C-alpha cells in the first residue's frame, strides 16, 4: 500500500507541473468504447464499440473523421455478429494508409477472423480465418540466436526452441541486439541482452519468478518494464541501470505497449488490467530524459496519440462503461 500511495502522489505532482493535454476536441460519452487508433495521417480514428446484453457481447467498428467531425459506422453489429461463437469483439486494429483498416475479431472461443475493410467502399474486401495453434513456429531470429549462443539450451534441447520460447513473449529490439527473457524450463529467468552482430551476451537484470513486460529503444537508452508483484520501469544507459518508477501489479499480468515514437520522444501505456477490467493503465511520455504522465484519469483504459496533428485519444472508465475523449497534445 505504501508503494502504491507514493506512486499516485508522484503522478499527481508531475501532472500538475507538466500538463501535456489541452482542450477537448471531441468526445463520445454515450456507449462503451475500446481500442482508439489513429490512421497514419491522424485524420481518422478507429474505435470499437462494445455492445453487451443478456444474449452476449458483440461489436461494431466506428470511424471518427476528425476533419469533418463525423462518426461513421464501418462494420455494423449485424455484420460483426457472424464471426461470434460465444461473442465477437475487436482485439486489434492495423491501418493500411487512410483507405483500409484491418480488424482482428476473436470469436469468444479459440479462433479469430482477420477482416480487411475498405473505407471508401464501406465493405469487407478480405477475410482470413485464424485457428488456435497455428502460431507454433520458430521465428527466424531464434535460429540466428541459436547459432551464436548454442550454450543456452539444456542437454538434449534445441537452442532454437529455447530462444523461440522467449521471442513469443515481450522483448525489446534495438539496432544489432535483442533484450529478452528465455522463459524455458531448466533455463534462468533473467533478462539478457544478446548482440546479433557478434557473440556477446550481457545479463541485464536477475529476475527469478519475474517477467519482462516489454520496452523500447530511444537514442542511447533502452527502456523496459519488468517485475513480479511490483513492476519497475528501468532505463539502461551506457551500461548503467536506473529505476524510473515502480508500481504494484498482479504477477505476470502487465505489459508495456508503445503508441508512438518521434525522435527521442516515446508515448506508451502500461497495461496493468485486461481491457474488460476496471482499473488504471497509466500512460506516459518519455522525452529522452524524463518520464511524464499523460493523463489524470483515475481509471484510464487505453490511449493513442498522433504527434504530427497533436491529437491524443483517451478511453477511460466512467461507471461500467468506457468513454472516449480526444484532446489536444501540448508540445511545451
Digit-coded pLDDT (tens) for 53-65: 757 899 999 999 9
Number of domains present in the structure of the chain = 3
Whether residues 11 and 75 fall in one domain: no
Q: What pLDDT is attached to residue 132?
A: 65
Domain boundary among 208, 237, 254: 208
Q: Give the mean pLDDT of 23-27.
A: 94
Q: Which residues of 95-118 are buried (b: 16+ CB within 10 A; e: fewer)?
A: beeeebbebbbbbbeeebbebebe
Residue with cell 475493410: 117
Could you tell me the CA-to-CA distances from 250 to 76, 104, 300 in Å, in that order?
Answer: 36, 27, 17
Whether residues 229 and 323 fall in one domain: yes
Strands 240-248 and 230-237: antiparallel
Domain assignment of residue 11, given as a range:
1-30+211-332
Residue 12 pLDDT greater than 70, yes or no: no
Query: CA 326 to CA 43: how far, in whole Å?
Result: 12
Task: Give the cell for residue 49.
Answer: 464499440
Whether residues 217 and 123 fall in one domain: no
Residue 270 pLDDT greater than 50, yes or no: yes
Q: What pLDDT is attached to residue 275?
A: 86
Q: What pLDDT is attached to residue 101?
A: 98
Mean of pLDDT over the chain: 90
Whether residues 310 and 264 fall in one domain: yes
Domain boundary among 208, 226, 254: 208
Residue 15 pLDDT greater than 70, yes or no: no
Cβ atoms of 254 and 272 within 8 Å: the answer is yes
Q: What angle do CA 101, 102, 104 make, to 5 degrees?
A: 145
Q: What pLDDT is attached to residue 138?
A: 53
Whether residues 330 and 254 fall in one domain: yes
Whether residues 293 and 276 fall in one domain: yes
Whether residues 286 and 327 fall in one domain: yes
Whether residues 100 and 68 fall in one domain: yes
Whether residues 116 and 141 fall in one domain: no
Q: What pLDDT is attached to residue 123?
A: 94
Domain boundary among 154, 175, 208: 208
Give the 3-state secondary structure of residue 129: strand
Cβ atoms of 178 and 196 within 8 Å: the answer is yes
Whether residues 219 and 116 fall in one domain: no
Q: Give the mean pLDDT of 258-271.
A: 96
Whether residues 238 and 289 fall in one domain: yes
Q: What is the pTM of this model?
A: 0.89
Residue 77 pLDDT greater than 60, yes or no: yes
Question: What percent of the chain is modeled with pLDDT above 90?
Answer: 83
Q: Which of 101-110, 124-133, 160-169, 300-309 has the lowest mean pLDDT?
A: 124-133
Whether residues 332 and 216 fall in one domain: yes
Residue 10 pLDDT greater than 70, yes or no: no
Amino acid at each position: 500500500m505504501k508503494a502504491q500511495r507514493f506512486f499516485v502522489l508522484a503522478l499527481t505532482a508531475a501532472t500538475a507541473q507538466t500538463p501535456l493535454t489541452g482542450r477537448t476536441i471531441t468526445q463520445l460519452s454515450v456507449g462503451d468504447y475500446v481500442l482508439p487508433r489513429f490512421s497514419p495521417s491522424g485524420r481518422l480514428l478507429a474505435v470499437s464499440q462494445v455492445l453487451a446484453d443478456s444474449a452476449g457481447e458483440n461489436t461494431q467498428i466506428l470511424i471518427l473523421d476528425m476533419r469533418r467531425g463525423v462518426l461513421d459506422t464501418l462494420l455494423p453489429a449485424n455484420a460483426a455478429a457472424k464471426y461470434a461463437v460465444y461473442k465477437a469483439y475487436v482485439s486489434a486494429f492495423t491501418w493500411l494508409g487512410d483507405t483500409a483498416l484491418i480488424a482482428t475479431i476473436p470469436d469468444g472461443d479459440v479462433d479469430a477472423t482477420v477482416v480487411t475493410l475498405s473505407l471508401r467502399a464501406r465493405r469487407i474486401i478480405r477475410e482470413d480465418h485464424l485457428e488456435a495453434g497455428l502460431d507454433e513456429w520458430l521465428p527466424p531470429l531464434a535460429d540466428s540466436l541459436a547459432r551464436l549462443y548454442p550454450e543456452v539450451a539444456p542437454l538434449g534441447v534445441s537452442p532454437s526452441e529455447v530462444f523461440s520460447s522467449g521471442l513469443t513473449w515481450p522483448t525489446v529490439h534495438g539496432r544489432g541486439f535483442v533484450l529478452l527473457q528465455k522463459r524455458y524450463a531448466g533455463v534462468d529467468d533473467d533478462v539478457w541482452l544478446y548482440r546479433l552482430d557478434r557473440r556477446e551476451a550481457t545479463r541485464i537484470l536477475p529476475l527469478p519468478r519475474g517477467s519482462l513486460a516489454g520496452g523500447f529503444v530511444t537514442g542511447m537508452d533502452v527502456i523496459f518494464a519488468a517485475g513480479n508483484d511490483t513492476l519497475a520501469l528501468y532505463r539502461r544507459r551506457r551500461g548503467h541501470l536506473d529505476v524510473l518508477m515502480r508500481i504494484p501489479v498482479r504477477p505476470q499480468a502487465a505489459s508495456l505497449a508503445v503508441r508512438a515514437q518521434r525522435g527521442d520522444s516515446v508515448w506508451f501505456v502500461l497495461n496493468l488490467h485486461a481491457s474488460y477490467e476496471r482499473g488504471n493503465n497509466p500512460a506516459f511520455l518519455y522525452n529522452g530524459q524524463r518520464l511524464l504522465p499523460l493523463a489524470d484519469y483515475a481509471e484510464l483504459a487505453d490511449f493513442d496519440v498522433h504527434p504530427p496533428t497533436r491529437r491524443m485519444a483517451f478511453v477511460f472508465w466512467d461507471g461500467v462503461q468506457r468513454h472516449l475523449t480526444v484532446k489536444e497534445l501540448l508540445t511545451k
